[in-house]
Amino acid sequence: MLMRGTIACISSKIQQVSSIKQVEQAQAVITKAGLYNIPSIISKLITFASLSPSGSLMHAQAIFQETTMDNPFICNTMIRAYSKSVLPIKAVYVYNHMHTINIDSDNYTFNFVLKACARALWCMQEDVNFDGFGIACKGSEIHCTVLKMGLLHVDQYIQNSLLHLYRQCGLLGPARRVFDEMTERTVSSWNIMVSAYDLVNDFGSADNLISLMPIKNVASFNTLIARYVRLGDIKAAKRVFREMPERDSVSWNSIIAGYVKVKDYNGALEIFHEMQTANVEATEVTITSILGTCAEMGALHIGRKIHESLKEREYTIEGYLGCALVDMYAKCGNLSCAWDVFNELKMKHVSCWNAMIVGLAVHGYCEEALELFAAMEMRHEEVEPNRVTFIGVLIACSHKGLVEEGREYFSRMIKEYKLMPDIKHYGCMVDLLSRWGLLIEAYHMIKTMPFDANSVLWRTLIGACKVHGNVELAEECFQQLAKLDALRDGDYVLLSNIYAEAERWDNVEQVRNQMIGNKVPKKLGSSHIEMK
């Protein structure tokens, strides 16, 4: 009786926790009372830590791992939390763990893990090492399981989650079969199927479904906005947005994302201001988009105000929001704040590591960037470098003049991480070699690339030719730019200056006359500053 009273009292106290510090205090109390493995108590701690905006999923994971990990409700809670996080694949790991130790799954389990699979595909779509096929197979496996258990045709949430997963996989056939076999379709079902057609650019089928929809809601209009945003047609997206009978936060987020996509950052900030005026509460997605806008515009004061507002509300900064803050501070040149945010993050997605590494490299903190990359490699079980990571690493090598190290990283990228370099990686290597006088090697790299060089590479090399006085190679670069039909006024002036430094005055006059003959105007220099 005393034990029951103690459990009831502690359970009541736990329901009132509002911060991770209070969770830790509660942990101390229940440990002292010997109640650490009572599911009803631990589940409340894990639920708050994993799902509350003031919680910490990393802390929830630590508590979870200290339990026997065999309670269905607790496992479902962790799957649900991971399905919303930057590491949704961990939800699949918990689901697999449940089956390994024969914990019964229910409709909540399947709904959450299907959402996690869909989110994993979305989160990792740019990572060439990510096994998208494996996720699709896992989804099909779960599909078979829920069919066998008789849950598919009686649970609309599972049906919609499965439909959404197949949409994310681009598997239109299985998605349509699930849709056609649904005994009762919700508005969400119609919207998901419409967006599935949109995703493969089958707009005819999408519009046909829209015409057949028995009822439309705000999400139906959001689906149309998402279509136009993906196509980069911001005018059409804005027209739908203005004509909507009502809007939700997704509507505002979508139109802001549209402006960001077409790089109309002022437009994005104007819509954000309009959203605030309309008293619509900004979500994490909204804030992440606006921080991205601040990063591109260098609007540090706006980004800092947003950060201060989050801290005043004691909002837990994790996931993509944390990454957006790191990226904003780094791109605005405030590496101290970027580093502070980075270190405070408990769960770091690869994009967060990339933002910090690239930020350090671009601003000349090359040794720190390479040290951070080494620290990233040591945590290979949690995160693995991708293409963007190596761009940051190669930039660091270029700025520091680490030629041998640059060659080594370039080689490791291919051999160790199985990442085939694209033109940006070759550009970094050409910049590295060119800066430090290895012009012939840089030229050879350009000529032996598995794809055609662009004007950026040739301009990088011709700029180095001026620094190191290589007239013949500069002429070759100029001819290559001419073949690309990419000659600009600066290219003529640069070659003319190279000839002048070599005292080849006839060639100087020839280039100047060629510039006049081709009617290439010399543009005036200009600078941009931000006012108010």
* 0.85 surpassed by pTM: no
Can you give the pLDDT at residue 1? Answer: 40
With residue 123 as reference, give the H or E element that holds it. Answer: helix 107-123
Can you give the pLDDT at residue 517? Answer: 83
Convert 344-384 into a string of H (helix), E (strand) and C (coil). HCCCCCHHHHHHHHHHHHHCCCHHHHHHHHHHHHHCCCCCC
**Which two structure tokens, joined as six digits, stand for 217?**
């809601």
Give per-residue pLDDT as tens, 239-280. 999 999 999 999 999 999 999 999 999 999 999 999 999 999
Q: Domain 218-281 belongs to what topology? A: 1.25.40
Strand, helix or coil for residue 261: helix
Can you give the pLDDT at residue 128? Answer: 46
Can you give the pLDDT at residue 126? Answer: 52
Domain ranges of the chain: 218-281
Given a cut of 50, the residues of the chain with pLDDT beneath it are 1-2, 128
Can you say how many angstroms the Cα of residue 111 is from the centroid of all Cα atoms in its chain?
24
Query: How far, in Å, CA of 385 to CA of 350, rounded?
Result: 7
